[in-house]
Amino acid sequence: MRQRIVVLGGGISGYGSAILAKKQGLDVFLSDAGTINPLYRARLEEWGVEFEERGHSMERILSATEVIKSPGIPDKAPVVVAIREGGIPVISEMEFAARYMGKAKTLCITGSNGKTTTTSLIYKILSDAGYNVALGGNIGESFAYSVATKQYDWYVLELSSFQLDGMFKFRANIAVLMNITPDHLDRYDYSFQNYIDSKMRIVQNQNSRDYFIYSADDQVITNELEKHPVRSKELPFMARTAVASTAGDACLSGDSFIARVANLSVEIQTEKMQIKGLHNSYDAMAASLAALAAGVTPQQIAQSVYDFSAVEHRVEPAGEFNGVLYINDSKATNVDSVWYALQSMTRPVVWIAGGTDKGNDYTPLMDFAKEKVHTLICMGLDNNKLENSFKGVIPNIISTNSLDSAMQAAVSAAKSGDCVLLSPACASFDLFKNYCQRGELFKEWILKNLK
């Protein structure tokens, strides 16, 4: 029987999967409950892929032999529930595309925080070294579209927990796990262990020839490794602990770190890096280990690390006006990301936070909030939890329900020498399409109103 593939969702993950299925000669149909981006629609038409938007044809969907689900669609969505009840396998783009990538190798990065910076840095190092490498997953081009249209030797893939959930036979040649802190618990029945199990899928199917890079400072990860030892070569990175590994490691000491894999090592002076703060040192350690494991020379790694600049929407300077520095950290959609942002602040802070709460516990932020933040601007349709959490901790708390009112309040509260930090700790969906739009509008407001 000819395989019938249904792709759910027409975003970057979906259109790439549909095109790859078409190229492989499979019977493919794409279905999106919303509208499809004109660029993606044009590509689907170019490849002759059948698709629908603004609704699902359930009879056709339930006739599939396999469904590729886009990561943004929750398992509780009625269409997904119906597919599973029909006994139809549901996989992710990553699982599907890996079947057709030939002899290429994968370097996969996940974690609650830091994965975008780490992924971008690894991709830069490998590109600078002349590798035939593609960037995909949560950032870059669709992994499946890259497999369909070109041949690469390496795929550097940023993986979310949602993508990992749909991966079963996929194997990462080099796996990087930055950290595990509570996030997206609304998608995991508010169970942190369910979320942990999802992140640990990064090592499934690895063997003794593969590498597993992880933070030895993250107690959640080390606890999991005690319960479930991995088969791959362990390469821990750390700033606070000492973990010995025969395969290699990276350790931050003072203003430098040494990353070592087998008999190769590279030393990085952190003050020479353009990206600052402890969180970026972690990212650079992980990236250096990954690049060494992939065979890049220490000299090339050092050059690329020093050349690398900030990722957009992650502690990104957005200008300084009247002595006030504005920083766009819109990508900080959970508590742990905000912890690292506040940790790196050296000026008094006006903090803009809020949005769609994902079951946050703000306790880890209390010390930094008391020490560094004099004003909290709550920006969301429901600010009660945020206000109540920091009442008595931050002296000045202002509730707003739009970007414009939040920015006006921030400008009024900030004094010369201060920093206005957009670091929401929440998803963006109450007021914005996504964190990118939130960050872009923040920067646009500054340029328009503070010239």
Average pLDDT over residues 25-51: 94
Residues 6+ apart with CB under 8 A from 46: none
Identify the residue with better confidence: 364 or 267.
Answer: 267
Given this model, what pLDDT does residue 1 score? 62
Q: What are 122's two structure tokens? A: 């690894």
Given this model, what pLDDT does residue 64 score? 97
Which residue carries 């508590």 as its tokens?
335
Give the pLDDT band (50/70/90) at residue 92.
very high
- What's the whole-model pTM score? 0.77
Helix spans in 294-402 (H): 298-307, 335-343, 366-372, 384-390
Closest CA to 322 of 232, 212, 411, 436: 411
Spell out the domain ranges in the chain: 4-91, 100-307, 316-449
Which CATH superfamily groups domain 316-449? Mur ligase, C-terminal domain (3.90.190.20)
Quick check: 302 pLDDT over 90?
yes
Domain 4-91 annotated CATH 3.40.50.720:
yes
282 three-class SS: helix
Q: How far apart are CA 232 and CA 13, in angstroms?
A: 29
Given this model, what pLDDT does residue 39 score? 84
For the ranges 20-29, 161-170, 236-245, the lowest mean pLDDT is seen at 236-245
For the ranges 183-187, 221-225, 244-248, 444-448, the lowest mean pLDDT is seen at 183-187
Average pLDDT over residues 126-150: 94
Average pLDDT over residues 180-194: 82
Q: Which fold has domain 100-307?
A: UDP-N-acetylmuramoyl-L-alanine:D-glutamate ligase (3.40.1190)
Quick check: 2 pLDDT over 80?
no
Residues 6+ apart with CB under 8 A from 352: 377, 379, 406, 407, 410, 420, 421, 422, 423, 424
Mean pLDDT of the residues in the chain? 93
Average pLDDT over residues 356-372: 89
Average pLDDT over residues 135-140: 88
Fold match between domain 100-307 and domain 316-449: no
Q: How far apart are CA 326 and CA 276, in angstroms?
A: 16
323 three-class SS: coil
Given this model, what pLDDT does residue 451 score? 65
In tens, the pLDDT along 386-413 reads 999 999 999 999 999 999 999 999 999 9
Quick check: 318 pLDDT over 90?
no
Given this model, what pLDDT does residue 399 score? 96
Average pLDDT over residues 324-338: 89
Closest CA to 211 of 236, 230, 232, 238: 232
Quick check: 244 pLDDT over 80?
no
Quick check: 358 pLDDT over 80?
no
Quick check: 164 pLDDT over 70?
yes
For the ranges 25-29, 97-101, 113-117, the lowest mean pLDDT is seen at 113-117
